[in-house]
Structure 1
Amino acid sequence: MPTLSQGQPDESGPEPHLHRQTAESFGVDAERYDRARPPYPEALVDRIIAASPGRHVLDVGAGTGIEARQFQAAGCTVLGVEPDERMAAFARRNRVDVEVARFEAWEPAGRQFDAVISGTAWHWVDPVVGAAKAARVLRPGGRLAPFHHVPQLPAEVVDALATALRRVAPDIPFNPGLLSGSAMDAYRPLFARIADGIRQTGRFSEPEQWRFAWERTYTREEWLDQLPTFGGLTRLPPDKMAEVLDSAGTAIDRLGGHATMPYTSVVITSTRSPTA
């Protein structure tokens, strides 16, 4: 999600791509990030590859290389672009080729790709400038396909996080009301911004939305391992983080020591016009 969870959508504040300190904070513990963040459904990877003209992929906001490694395993050649050197270094150690830059400023040096992807990271990119850059580096008929996880957190966990954050970090944007109903509704403004950014370039087909539903059951330890990787929490000092983890852990204990999270992984996708 854009801000708190894989952030939390907050349609009232500035656009997420302007929050550079948060956008470039995830490398504080790259190993934990790679270990704790969930991969993407194989069906999502396969569909993007099948709908692209080839297998030369650019991964924007590649992070530690989670989705890049999935596309590599499916037979693609992947180049990552990542603004955080710490994340890029981790990805390189795992055989992902990564260049360090913000995508908007990255220089492709004439290189072209069959697909531009972005795993839960396109909200950190200017939606219009990023789409225009994607059009520049895609071959005619190439596919732009940023995708995001949409997790439906249990109400007990949301309430526990809200209580802890109000106490220890009231300045972190977290509106529990946005997550008390449908998570997909909370993400709708983000997906609309992505689609509108693509349209504004005038260089792509009408954006489509592909959805892939799945779920994962987390143990208490697995969920608490992931929590410090959420945007906003990455910069909490250890004592405040300990309070947040204790509160979330107590909520999961009340659920029986584990929590099942329904996810929908959503792709906003379009093809570069042949004449663009």
Structure 2
Amino acid sequence: MPTLSQGQPDNSGPEPHLHRQTAESFGVNAERYDRARPPYPQALVDRIVAASPGPHVLDVGAGTGIEARQFRAAGCTVLGVEPDERMAAFARRSGVEVEVARFEDWQPYGRRFDAVISGTAWHWVDPVAGAAKAAQVLRPGGRLAPFHHVPQLPAETIDSLTEALQRVAPDSPFNPSLLKAAAVEAYQPLFAKIADGIRQTGSFSEPEQWRFAWERIYSREEWLDQLPTFGGLTQLPADKMAEVLDSAGAAIDKLGGHVTVPYTSVVITSTRSHTDK
């Protein structure tokens, strides 16, 4: 979930949830997506589980099931909702139950949950309609907790992406130059939009942020494997993607063949009120 989902916020353009072609493009290579995307910090999973009134979790934008498998391992029962049948099919192969729909259109049929989560996908959901649907399906005291990875990319990798995209895809919605700012601060307009959507329902406590800092060292091969899964790059033709990967690979070579990426995983979270305002 901005062309986020391991991409970056874009605060100048239309609402990201309106970019359906990009939002539903990640299944073009679901196996690569699942292999290359990093999981979430265990401390994040544990805190959400501990702060929820029970183990029944709804995962919005479940993708290939990365976070669903983590919450299952923590003792939860998880139902995923995912608009891309290709991603849902991959998640089902790992044992994750998934229903195919946009969350705003999904029918809960009276089912209730203790937590509604979303791993780097809530920006593809209408922030008000999505929060209202979460309020509908959460038990009183249940927790809404969408979370995002926020990577702080090295300047060299940002420069290589910027140069390559300006050359091969100047109209791409992916704007790596935005990441030259402090990444968590660059994402704050997105997080504020999520929090405002929650407030507008009148059904939740005041939203708060939980932050979890960590880092990952990527080899050249690992970084180039992940890059095509970035939102806004998933739709590049093969020849243009090859040019982007060549440029990114050269930048990694200059860094010694690997890149260290500090991450902050940020949760925007609130609890379902027992009575609506």
Equivalenced residues, count: 276
Aligned mates of 2:179, 2:72 — CA distance in 1: 34
Aligned mates of 2:4, 2:120 — CA distance in 1: 13
Q: Cα deviation per residue 1:112-150 (whole Å; 9 max; x = unaligned)?
A: 000000000000000000000000000000000000000
CA deviation after TM superposition for structure 1 residue 174, in Å:
3.6
The residue aligned with 2:247 is 247
Q: Which amino acid aligns with 1:244?
A: V
The residue aligned with 1:233 is 233
Aligned mates of 1:174, 1:58 — CA distance in 2: 29
CA contact (8 A) 1:4 1:233 kept: no
Aligned mates of 1:258, 1:177 — CA distance in 2: 21
Aligned mates of 1:150, 1:123 — CA distance in 2: 13
Q: Does the residue aligned with 2:234 lie in a helix, a strand or coil?
A: helix
Aligned mates of 1:34, 1:177 — CA distance in 2: 26
Aligned mates of 2:223, 2:271 — CA distance in 1: 36
CA deviation after TM superposition for structure 1 residue 177, in Å:
3.7
The residue aligned with 2:137 is 137
The residue aligned with 1:256 is 256
Structure 2, unpaired ranges of 5+:
none
Structure 1, unpaired ranges of 5+:
none
Q: Does the residue aligned with 2:247 lie in a helix, a strand or coil?
A: helix
- 1:23-172 map, 5 Å: 23-172=23-172
Aligned mates of 2:156, 2:56 — CA distance in 1: 43
CA contact (8 A) 2:65 2:96 kept: yes
Q: Cα deviation per residue 1:7-29 (whole Å; 9 max; x = unaligned)?
A: 22110000110100000000000
Q: Does the residue aligned with 1:233 lie in a helix, a strand or coil?
A: coil
CA deviation after TM superposition for structure 1 residue 4, in Å:
5.9
Q: Does the residue aligned with 1:235 lie in a helix, a strand or coil?
A: coil
CA contact (8 A) 2:174 2:231 kept: no
Aligned mates of 1:34, 1:181 — CA distance in 2: 28
Q: Which amino acid aligns with 2:116?
A: V
Q: Percent identity?
A: 85
RMSD of aligned residue pairs (Cα, Å): 0.9
Aligned mates of 1:138, 1:93 — CA distance in 2: 27
Aligned mates of 1:223, 1:177 — CA distance in 2: 18
Query: 2:256 matched to 1:275?
Result: no
Q: What's the TM-score once normalised by structure 1's chain length?
A: 0.98
Q: From the superposition, tell whether residues 4 and 209 of structure 1 become closer, same or farther in structure 2 (CA, over 3 Å).
A: closer
The runs of 4+ residues in structure 1 deviating greater than 3 Å are: 174-177
Query: 2:198 matched to 1:219?
Result: no
CA deviation after TM superposition for structure 1 residue 176, in Å:
4.0
CA deviation after TM superposition for structure 1 residue 78, in Å:
0.1
CA contact (8 A) 1:150 1:264 kept: yes
CA contact (8 A) 1:121 1:148 kept: yes
Aligned mates of 2:85, 2:176 — CA distance in 1: 32
CA deviation after TM superposition for structure 1 residue 5, in Å:
6.0
- 1:16-27 map, 5 Å: 16-27=16-27
Aligned mates of 2:118, 2:173 — CA distance in 1: 23
